[in-house]
Structures are given as structure tokens and as C-alpha cells.
């Protein structure tokens, strides 16, 4: 699996973060440069570190698990993709309503960090199969982090013009990509 697969994985993993950032963009009166930096650092950083942690875990388990780890990783990606797709149909207007009119900065660090970690859990599972890519692991995880940072920042801007639809669409796109990559891992051995 090469660069295209790594890019598709990066986009699939980034969609949760992008949807969360879009929800914040809907309620933000303005987004400061400092808030943009926090979004890029927290979401991009957590999406890059989690697959690295998964890869390190896979390496620690060793050759014992080498034959079944791609199956586990593929199955987890399919499961997470299906779960993400189902969640996209559950309207999450509570997030928008919670901040609207209350003067709370939706890009406050104490709010962003737990969200960045929560949206990067699926990246931990993706890390289990990073050995299947032809790219070096650090290149792949960097790509995942950069794509997540870029899409998260873009989602904030798009949310102001596209409205709530972007959240559902990005969840569905991400879910579909994760399922496709998971199925490919299960089939191509």
C-alpha cells in the first residue's frame, strides 16, 4: 500500500476532527490566529501520535502477532468506519447549542484537547497496520497529522459558509474511507 492509500487513510482519519472543528466554526464569532494554531497542533498532533503509538504497540507484540495484526487492524477500521457512519446520522446539535450565545470560546484549549484525543482513537487502530504501507512510518504519521491539521482548519472556514451540512458529509466520507481501507486490509494479504 503506497502513497495513495496513505492519503486516503489520512483523509478518513481526519474527518472526525474536521466535523468537530466545523461545529466549532459554526458558533465562533471569530477565530483568532492563536485558536487556529491550537486546532492544528491539537488535532493534527493527536492524529499523528496515535497511529505512532499503535505502530509501537504492534512492534512490541513482535512477530508473534505479525500474521493476524493486519486482520485485527482491518476489522477495527471497518468497525470504526461503520460506527462513524451511524453517528453521522445522529444529529449533534447539542454541541452548537451549548456554545451559542453563552460567550464561551469554542476554541479554548481545555475544550479542544479532550476532543482532539477523542477523535484520534481510531488512528490508534490504524497504527496497527502501518507496516503494510510502503512509506516510512514517520512519513505516514506525519502525513496523517498534516492532513488532519489542514482539513480541520478548512472545516472551520467552510462551516461559516456551508452551515451544518458539512459535519454530516465529512463524517460519511470519513466512515466510507475507513471501511474501504479496512476491507482492503482484510482482503489483500
Question: For every one of its 189 residues, what pLDDT tens digit does the chain have, with 9 covering 90 and above?
Answer: 788 988 988 998 898 888 888 877 777 777 889 999 999 999 999 999 999 998 898 888 766 665 666 677 677 667 766 776 676 665 454 454 455 555 667 788 888 888 888 888 878 888 878 888 889 999 999 999 999 999 999 988 887 676 555 556 666 666 676 677 667 667 765
For residues 8 and 20, give the distance between their C-alpha atoms in angstroms, rounded to a whole number.
Answer: 19
Sequence ranges of the domains in the chain: 3-187
Verdict on whether the full-model pTM lies above 0.85:
no
Amino acid at each position: 500500500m503506497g502513497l495513495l492509500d496513505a492519503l486516503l487513510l489520512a483523509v478518513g482519519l481526519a474527518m472526525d476532527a474536521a466535523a468537530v472543528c466545523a461545529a466549532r466554526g459554526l458558533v465562533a464569532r471569530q477565530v483568532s490566529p492563536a485558536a487556529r494554531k491550537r486546532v492544528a497542533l491539537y488535532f493534527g498532533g493527536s492524529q499523528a501520535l496515535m497511529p505512532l503509538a499503535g505502530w509501537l504497540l504492534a512492534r512490541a507484540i513482535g512477530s508473534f502477532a505479525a500474521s493476524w495484526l493486519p486482520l485485527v487492524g482491518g476489522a477495527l477500521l471497518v468497525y470504526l468506519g461503520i460506527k462513524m457512519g451511524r453517528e453521522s446520522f445522529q444529529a449533534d446539535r447539542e454541541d452548537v447549542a451549548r456554545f451559542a450565545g453563552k460567550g464561551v470560546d469554542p476554541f479554548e484549549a481545555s475544550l479542544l484537547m479532550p476532543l482532539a484525543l477523542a477523535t484520534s482513537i481510531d488512528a490508534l487502530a490504524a497504527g496497527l497496520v502501518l507496516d503494510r504501507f510502503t512509506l516510512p512510518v514517520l512519513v505516514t504519521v506525519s502525513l496523517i497529522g498534516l492532513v488532519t491539521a489542514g482539513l480541520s482548519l478548512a472545516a472551520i472556514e467552510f462551516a461559516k459558509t456551508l452551515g451544518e451540512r458539512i459535519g454530516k458529509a465529512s463524517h460519511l466520507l470519513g466512515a466510507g474511507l475507513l471501511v474501504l481501507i479496512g476491507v482492503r486490509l482484510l482482503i489483500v494479504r
